Amino acid sequence: MPYDGTSIDAINNLKAENGKSWDAINPEHVQRMRMQNRFKTGLEIAQYTADIMRKDMAAYDADSSQYTQSLGCWHGFIGQQKMIAIKKHFGTTKRKYLYLSGWMIAALRSEFGPLPDQSMHEKTSVPALIEELYTFLRQADARELAGLFRELDDAPDTVSKSIIQSKIDNYETHVVPIIADIDAGFGNPEATYLLAKKMIEAGACALQIENQVSDEKQCGHQDGKVTVPHEDFLQKIRACRHAFLELGIDNGIIVARTDSLGAGLTKQIAVTKEQGDLGDQYNSFLDCDEVTLDTMKNGDIVIKQDGKLMRPKRLLSNLFQFKEGTGVDRCVLDSITSLQNGADMIWIETEKPHIGQIGEMINRVRKVVSNAKLVYNNSPSFNWTLNFRQQVFDAWVEEGKDTSSYDRAKLMSVEYDDTELSELADNKIRTFQADAARDAGIFHHLITLPTYHTAALSTDNLAKDYFGAEGMLGYVAGVQRKEIRQGIACVRHQNMSGSDMGDDHKEYFAGEAALKAAGEDNTMNQFN
């Protein structure tokens, strides 16, 4: 990331214009601080990351191996540590994003306390977390650059200085795209537009919106999901697009999610003007009984289909029921309609991670929209081990292979962990992302709430050991020693929190009178 801001000469000129009162201002220090604060606003971030995502989308169109990935992050610190880890292990942040899940907001960030993912959390908590994530990512930049500046100052010769300067000049930021979950839009299209603006102003370049009813919204992997007619959903897509355009993010990304595969209900009968139009297609999936004027009951709602008088099945909840087995067809229609009306990508929520199932739908979509790209949830709600063992088992049965030593219903059992079937299943899980990107049109793989589970798992292990027989060794061996051995920067937690940067600033502001924290008695020196 070459710095393209104000030059040292320009800062010197500014200093000269302000006379002796600015004598203590060091232009080099100002330049460094400006480099550490590349992004001044959330809109700058949104534009920068939208450009990245558009470039990545084009790369994927040319080569499906160039897919992208993200993890769901429920706190700025978690997002920051994820990106620091990625830079450490892979040397680059390319094609690695963040995902902000409504599920995480509800479960971990709501002022009401933990909630299910049913759009019950506060609207403002979503843009607040986006802002928090980018605050932590910008701080990661500032911290890492500060370390490079100190190395530059301490470099023993010109060759060493040149190497460090090159690292500074070509610095790669931790700031990456966020795909942010706006759920079902939190109300009418105007409410969706207002919330979308807040999210974009906080830095979001990509908004994910789903076709459920706002006040009936359910988690993608729960029952009782209710969809809306296409025109209702398209109004919210347009609301998001107008929010992007108003704020000058002309290439902002909209991900249109369909929950139709698992949604058997609708709250509304679509408006239709002629046979075969979009409303009529939506209504054609309704589970109906043919009636006559004589067989109609009090309060019945009827529609005309193919010249017949039909009564949609209405539940006591006042919801209408879709025909069984229509989920795939509805997903395909939803996806095509969204892409033809302003969405950039689609998200099909499925009940299992099955490339064949996903590929069947995306291939049908691509017959109409040739460059259709899918965002897919590699969800922790799936039992990945069981699903893939069953997929291998079913393939063996189809091939005529002997499966008598396996019980399909009990394939999760530990007794199968070291079997050929288990090994094949694990390999399919290992290659799922690459295979699905190639065979099922998946541009972006995300996993919604892994850090929810890792936080719970690591805390359980620490609590078990520290409060048990291991005592303090439970922390030392289970956490600290592993941090040291793995080179996790957070082991020096004072540095991670910004203490060393604070020392730099003290020197900028106070010169030789600066009272620094990083002296001989700072215990963080034990981890150098």
Active-site residue list = 219
Q: 430: buried, middle or exposed (CB in 10 Å: 19+, 13-18, 0-12)?
A: exposed
Q: Which two tokens stand for residue 500?
A: 């060393």
Nearest to 336 by CA among 372, 377, 306: 372
Here the tokens at position 71 are 């993890």
Contact 249, 47 (CB under 8 A): yes
DSSP 118: S
**CA-only gyration radius of the chain, Å:** 28
Contacts of residue 355, defined as CB under 8 A and 6 or more positions apart, other chains included, come to 432, 435, 436, 439, 440
Q: Distance (Å, rounded) from C-alpha 1 to C-alpha 52? A: 13
CA distances to 60, 94, 375, 467 from 53, rounded to whole Å, are 10, 10, 13, 46
Give the containing element (helix H, strand E) for 53.
helix 42-62
Which stretches does DSSP call E strand in 422-516?
A: 442-447
- Within 10 angstroms of residue 317's Cβ, the number of other Cβ atoms is 11
Return the closest-CA partner of residue 294 out of 312, 309, 315, 316.
309
Give the length of the chain: 528
Distance CA(241)–CA(126), nearest Å, equals 18
Burial of 58 (0-12, 13-18, 19+ CB in 10 A): exposed
Please enumerate in sequence order all residues whose Cβ is within 8 A of that of 126, keeping only pairs 6 or more positions apart, or say none.
100, 102, 105, 180, 181, 182, 195, 198, 199
DSSP 400: T
| C-alpha neighbours within 13 Å on the C-beta side of residue 364 | 16
Question: Does residue 24 contact residue 511 with C-beta atoms inside 8 Å?
Answer: yes
Q: How far apart are CA 60 and CA 373, in angstroms?
A: 9
